[in-house]
Amino acid sequence: MELYELQDEHVGAFRAKMPAAPEPNPPISQLQTTVVCRCRPFLDHDAGSFQAVTTNGPNIYVHKEVSKAGLVDTTGKVNSKKFQLHASTACENDESLYEMYVEAVVEKSKEGGAGCVLAYGQTGAGKTHTIEAMMDTMFQSGVEIVAVSCFEVRSDKVHDLLNDSEELKVLTGADGNDNVVGLKKLEAEEAGEAVKDVVTRAKALRSTASTNANDQSSRSHAFYIFFLPSGGSLTFVDLAGSENKADAKSHSESENADERLKEMKEINKSLGDLKECIRLTLVNSKGGKQQHIPFRRSVLTRLLRTSLDVSPTSAVKTTFLCHVGPTRRSLSMTINTLNYAEQMCSATNAAKEAAKFKGPEKWSPKMVASWVEKLDGGKYATLSESMHMSGKIFQTMWLNDFIKRVSAAGGTEADGNYIYDKFHDLVAESKKGNGAKKKGKKVDDVTIEIAEGKKPAQKPVSELMYGAGLSAACVENS
């Protein structure tokens, strides 16, 4: 028996002892940012390597051969390391993946919000397959789309995939978001073809090359943005894969090998910038002194900035689909991918926990505006833009001064009185909840919902879209 077969037997024994997969906690539907691992199935070229990844609900285990003094154990024993995300999936069909982890993002966009589905991971792990399958499933589900834009980020520059790969600039708007200026926005009727065909045409212009890991490896980060009748937007992002020098070498050892190595360095740099932003997002989510997150270090991170907001009040509902290969050969890249996916997941969970007990008087201006926007099912949403003040300022503001602010924004005196009273009621309720927490008592759901910017006992209303790095104001109609 071959060594890899013995190792497979030990992995099989490990799997046989695993308990049933635990349910996601909290449920996926309650998360604003969801991090999921997808492990691709074994393929013909994987023969001769043992299965190095096991998925079990939110738990992912990677297996490595036991070795001592540099010698591999000849009995096939393996060591296992555990990672934990919100969920994992191994070989489930594409339709199931869509229903479990993407459909909620689509629904957010249909309600007028912003959604983002992002595929991340090593070359050859199935990112492009997944993104294309998720878009196809969305088309088949009958989601109405009024317009589409497509572009790629290559060598830290943006190229319009619906306009002959024209190079475009990224500028920062008045709202602080980074936007692609002059991006072609193709209206559905104007296209004269199905949206799916428009996307297919765009994909054909995307840069690819052959590598040791993938015959058609993407050499750029692709963005596909769909605009819905509600005013919402849905962005699918297919990131280029992280590589090492062996991956970057062309199968044919062609004359453009130097160019390929340069591309590899540029791709890895942009992914490295993304990883650093994820790492610092985790650091900041734990409280204490806040560190600067270098979103402006690359075009990629500038455009993904709002999608990396892990706070419960984030304007964008995001699903991160991190992709890994199943074999021992790709184990180092798998561990690297899972390390950063776990950091993103931890940052999301930490931000959610911190928000549970963050009283309204400690809210940021963004959280105050979000709360007003959602109050009473969105009744006061038109006033939310005038509410960009911290919770501390709101708490200490005199009622007459607040009413003047509301009146200037087009509201009435009654509106001002109502919002003012509601906020101060929340402050009092939150202090009761925090007192219960300190005494070791269970804090009720009302306190948690208050801290997350929701109105208690009310069905959540989708947040108004104010950009996923792609402000409609900066997009030109074709």
Would you say the pTM of this structure is higher than 0.75? no
The CA distance from 232 to 108, in Å, is 8
What mean pLDDT comes out for the span 143-162?
A: 93
The CA distance from 315 to 296, in Å, is 19
pLDDT for 352 beyond 80: no
pLDDT for 55 beyond 90: yes
State phi, psi for 298 to the nearest 5 degrees: -150, 160
Q: Which fold has domain 3-356?
A: Kinesin (3.40.850)
pLDDT for 367 beyond 50: yes
pLDDT for 354 beyond 80: no
pLDDT for 136 beyond 90: yes
Q: What is the pLDDT of residues 86-100, one digit of tens each?
A: 999 876 789 999 999
CB of 146 within 8 A of CB of 187?
yes
Phi/psi-derived region of residue 323, left when phi > 0, alpha when psi is between -120 and 50, beta in every other case? beta
The CA distance from 274 to 294, in Å, is 9
Band of residue 412 on the pLDDT scale cut at 50, 70, 90 = very high
Summary mean pLDDT of the chain: 81
Q: What is the pLDDT of residues 67-80, one digit of tens each?
A: 888 899 899 999 99
CB of 77 within 8 A of CB of 65?
yes
Binding-site members for ATP are 121-128
Enumerate the β-bridge partners of residue 475.
Answer: 183
The CA distance from 55 to 51, in Å, is 11
Higher pLDDT, 285 or 423: 423
Q: What is the pLDDT of residues 229-275, one digit of tens each?
A: 999 999 999 999 876 655 555 444 555 677 778 878 888 899 999 99
* pLDDT given at position 243: 67
Binding-site members are 121-128
Q: What is the pLDDT of residues 310-331, one digit of tens each?
A: 776 677 899 999 999 999 988 9
pLDDT for 170 beyond 60: yes
pLDDT for 467 beyond 50: no
Band of residue 228 on the pLDDT scale cut at 50, 70, 90 = very high
CB of 3 within 8 A of CB of 76?
yes
Percent of the chain topping pLDDT 70: 80
- Nearest CA to 128 out of 43, 52, 46, 40 is that of 40
* pLDDT given at position 256: 67
Higher pLDDT, 444 or 59: 59
- Nearest CA to 113 out of 189, 15, 32 is that of 32
The CA distance from 240 to 43, in Å, is 21
Q: Which of 19-28, 181-190, 209-218 is the least confident region?
A: 209-218
Task: Show me where the domains of the chain are located.
Answer: 3-356, 360-467
pLDDT for 353 beyond 80: no
**H or E element, residue 168:** strand 166-172
The CA distance from 31 to 52, in Å, is 29
- Nearest CA to 154 out of 266, 275, 272 is that of 266
- Nearest CA to 104 out of 196, 28, 25, 22 is that of 28
